[in-house]
Structure 1
Amino acid sequence: MTRSVSRSTGDVRPHRSSTRLVVWAAVLTSANVVADVVIGSPMMAMPQLLEHFDTDQAAWLNASAMLAGAIWSPLLAKSADVYGKRRVLVATLLLACAGALVCLVAPNSWIFLGGRFLQGAAFAAVFLTVALVMQICTARRAMAMVGLVTSSSSIVGIVEPFLTKPIIDAFGFRGVFAVAAVLAAVAAVGVRLVIPESPVRSAARIDVVGALLLGVGLGAVLAYISLGADRGWLSMAPLLVVGLVALSSWTFHVLRIAEPVIDIRALAGPILLALVTLILAAGSFRSMLQLVGLVAYVPSELGLGYGLGDGEAIATLFGAANLGIAVGGIGAGWLAGRIGPAWPLLAGIVLGAAGTFAMVAGVSAPPLAIACSGTLGIAAGAIGASGYNVATSLAAPERQGTTAGLVSIVVALGSVVFTIAGAEVLKASRVPDVIADGAPVSTAAGVHVYIALAGLLFVLATIPAFTLARSSRRPTRTAQRTG
């Protein structure tokens, strides 16, 4: 049986200083910026990476860090509950720094992928900051802080492309990894010096075997889904087999031990509803971002019934989405401290559905598309922040790290699965011999079916979300009071 152990760290005292809260938020947001940079920035240097390593495997270079994050997450989440959230967050950032340095000097693609595997640990930064906030702040302030630290990094995402491109032009792809290493090191020092350690620990042992089986299983299945469309589903089948065998072994392993890394026997009731909600809603939002990025490069002059130009609106479209994420996440966190997180979660899903269905007209009208992109961003920010708040508020304090990690895993799973499914819809409806900006395009009917399916995911997500909201109560947990 897992026991909760509360330890006095000497750092945690009941402060009410708004200045301290602002500093904490800034430092924790910097950790999440590292995660965004690790996942997103190398994509801007993909042509240079492919040329340097003399490969055409863009999918592997692109997806490697996200897949590594799925492998790292179960182990890091459980370790955070046992050894302390701050300690594991610092270790995670240092791993990301080491990985960036490996990528910086990698002489071949295999060593580069090893560096990306280390960098992928940064994927855990988001849920580790959430779990840490939930234990160093009062319940009301914690929920607002979660919205702030999970969404504010999106503001950086608005300007990041404009900052990264000059670095790539001046230093090549190595500039991206040099910046990533510096950011990770600075964030690690900031967390260690400024953020107090979480006072609640679990006395459970780390189920290393279970963590490895789950991580390998998730990583292999996600790799199959991510890469199968480009390299052939049949040729990638061994990955799927490895993933299914690992996940089956993990399931059998979990049922035989008392303290698994994730106890599937406890995944019932409200926590299961929350996870189902998030996998549907996150998948819909990510798939819509993919569509926005595609139609932005389709000129309306092609006469396909949709199109937003030659890419001139892409920065504005994604800038609106990133700004919306910040607004939605911060707003949902503020509301969660007053009415609970379940209602903002439902509101975000409803807003996401509205923005998605409005894109039926938006794919041929740039101003409406920008408005829809911003709306979807607000929905995504609210869903992300509220999802973490709902799940962690349902978990015992000694399991909040594991629970936050589980949220990140299902969000990644939903994002990969439904994004690939959407891509297959577009592939099945391609217009023969029509190319826009070097890529094949789909029919208007295919685009509209894509949007309808994404909207349907949002509609389905409202069912468990509404059930959660109806049964929810305002948060009253006051175990830790430092905020």
Structure 2
Amino acid sequence: MKPGATLGGLCLATTAYSVLQSLVVPALGVFQDELNATPSATAWLLTAFLLSASISTPVLGRLGDIYGKRRILIAALTAMSLGALTSALASDLPVMVAGRVVQGLGGAVFPLCFALVREHLPAPGRPRAFVIISTVMSVGGAAGTITAGPILSLLSSRWLFLIPAMVSALAIIPVILLLPPGERAPLNTRIDWYGAALLATWLGLLLLAISRFGSPGWHWPLIGATILAPVWWRGQRRADQPLVDLRTLALPTVRATNAATLLLGFGMFGSWMVIPLLVAEKFDAGPTVVGLVMVPTAVGNLLIMRVYRRLTARQGPRAALAAGIAIAGLAYLALAVGHQTLAQVCLGILVMGAGIGLAFAAVGALVVEAVPSEQTGVSAAVNTVMRTVGGSLGTAVGGSVLTWSPGESSYTTVLLLYAAALAGALCCAIRVPRPVTVYGGPAEARTGTA
């Protein structure tokens, strides 16, 4: 099978998920009016998707390692299509939210695509494939945000689900035709369902507490997560076939990269909430203008692709991760002190997009290349969850600062907080051992032992 055909199938699958992830966000107010719901109830269209994606991603990643990543990728795309169709046909909010829960199973698409790159593409072509998939993820997300307005104007809100449903269904075809079937794990390999249930419970409680931060009773889910997380950790250490091999997570490269991803997600996702609010409030911009202002994020990703390929070829993904974090951090600092004009904001977003694109392409490469091939799915999935948790924290903290201290100065404070988070991420990136990429050998030879 030609590498280009394999990569093309993975890119279409990534496009389906990235569009689905972002297309609904600008239309929350519309759904609130159509379904006669409260803002807090409508927010569950996002919360349910986030919880489902975060909980299911590690489990589906592990299932991919056992039963074949191609097979699980097809299942995830099918769930996305059926879930989107359910939401499109829903006549009330609970059914629409239920559809979003099913759509969340698509959260495994991105890490599975990275793991399939490691599995099927030759070593020299992997860095290029990693950055292309990351760029497609960013451009697809931006396209979803931008096209939501025209879709609402020309069609109806239900097409925000119908279009992703069709794209997800179409993405299944090239995955089946173009991706070669992978090897299955030995017959005696099994999944730790007890560990999966515990992980889903405490991680769901943690994200629920973060999403409800500051509201009455938000601390109860946090207490539950604090109690259950150590129980899960001890169970994984004792299990013969754990859901997540903690020894793999303790490898120096994986450990440092996951820590950097958590802090990088804090700044990245948080800024995607704060910057649109800043543009809307300061420049009295509507949804279409706000969406267009965020386009430079995707442009920055596209422009940085060639730089990533050259940098990783010479110095490896560790250097790309550090450089990307530093660029994004400087962009946040520039935005914090200079956001008086739309031109300044757009320039800052352009630089930020380039830095984040560079960093996240390196993150995926570092993780999947550092672990044994039979653990790439679950390891990439855990890294994705770290990004989601970091993003949830960044959004919650940024929203709280803007609520407690309204005014333009609060935006400066939040952007400085995100810059500080990226400074911490840079410290973690520097801790990644080098060399970290020697294709074809055991993980320990590349990363050192835990």
Quick check: TM above 0.5? yes
Query: Which amino acid is the alignment partner of residue 291 of structure 1?
Result: V
Matches of 1:201 and 1:333 in 2, distance apart?
32
**Residue 276 of structure 2 aligns with which residue?**
293
Structure 1 position 149, deviation (Å)? 1.2
Query: Alignment partner of 1:228: what SS?
Result: coil
Taking every aligned residue pair, what percent have the same amino acid on both sides? Answer: 22
**Residue 119 of structure 1 aligns with which residue?**
103
Matches of 1:212 and 1:337 in 2, distance apart?
41
Asked whether the 8 Å contact 1:333–1:386 carries over to 2, the reply is no
**Residue 401 of structure 2 aligns with which residue?**
425
**Residue 310 of structure 1 aligns with which residue?**
285
Of 422, 434, 438, which aligns to 1:471? 434
Asked whether the 8 Å contact 1:143–1:336 carries over to 2, the reply is yes
Asked whether the 8 Å contact 1:277–1:464 carries over to 2, the reply is yes
Greater Cα radius of gyration, structure 1 or 2? 1
Query: Which amino acid is the alignment partner of residue 310 of structure 1?
Result: A
Query: Alignment partner of 1:471: what SS?
Result: coil
Matches of 1:402 and 1:372 in 2, distance apart?
34
**Residue 385 of structure 2 aligns with which residue?**
409
Of 183, 192, 201, which aligns to 1:207? 192
Matches of 2:86 and 2:13 in 1, distance apart?
20
Q: How does 1:70-89 map to 2 (within 5 A)?
A: 70-89=54-73
Query: Alignment partner of 1:472: what SS?
Result: coil
Structure 1 position 382, deviation (Å)? 1.1
**Residue 336 of structure 1 aligns with which residue?**
312
Structure 1 position 315, deviation (Å)? 3.2
Higher helix share: 2
RMSD: 2.2
Distance change (3 Å), C-alpha of 1:201 and 1:176: same
Q: How does 1:71-470 map to 2 (within 5 A)?
A: 71-199=55-183, 201=185, 204-229=189-214, 232=215, 234-268=216-250, 269-299=252-282, 308-311=283-286, 313-328=289-304, 331-333=307-309, 335-430=311-406, 442-444=407-409, 446-468=410-432
**Residue 39 of structure 1 aligns with which residue?**
21
Asked whether the 8 Å contact 1:282–1:380 carries over to 2, the reply is no
Asked whether the 8 Å contact 1:392–1:400 carries over to 2, the reply is yes
Matches of 1:223 and 1:173 in 2, distance apart?
27
Distance change (3 Å), C-alpha of 1:403 and 1:474: closer
Query: Alignment partner of 1:66: what SS?
Result: helix
Structure 1 position 73, deviation (Å)? 0.8
Asked whether the 8 Å contact 2:23–2:147 carries over to 1, the reply is no
Question: Structure 1 stretch 136-145 or stretch 72-81: which is displaced more?
Answer: 136-145
Matches of 2:309 and 2:375 in 1, distance apart?
21
Distance change (3 Å), C-alpha of 1:474 and 1:243: closer
Asked whether the 8 Å contact 1:275–1:407 carries over to 2, the reply is yes
Distance change (3 Å), C-alpha of 1:31 and 1:366: same
Query: Which amino acid is the alignment partner of residue 405 of structure 1?
Result: A
For structure 2, list consecutive stretches of 5 or more residues without a partner in the other structure: 443-450
Query: Which amino acid is the alignment partner of residue 37 of structure 2?
Result: T
Structure 1 position 116, deviation (Å)? 0.9
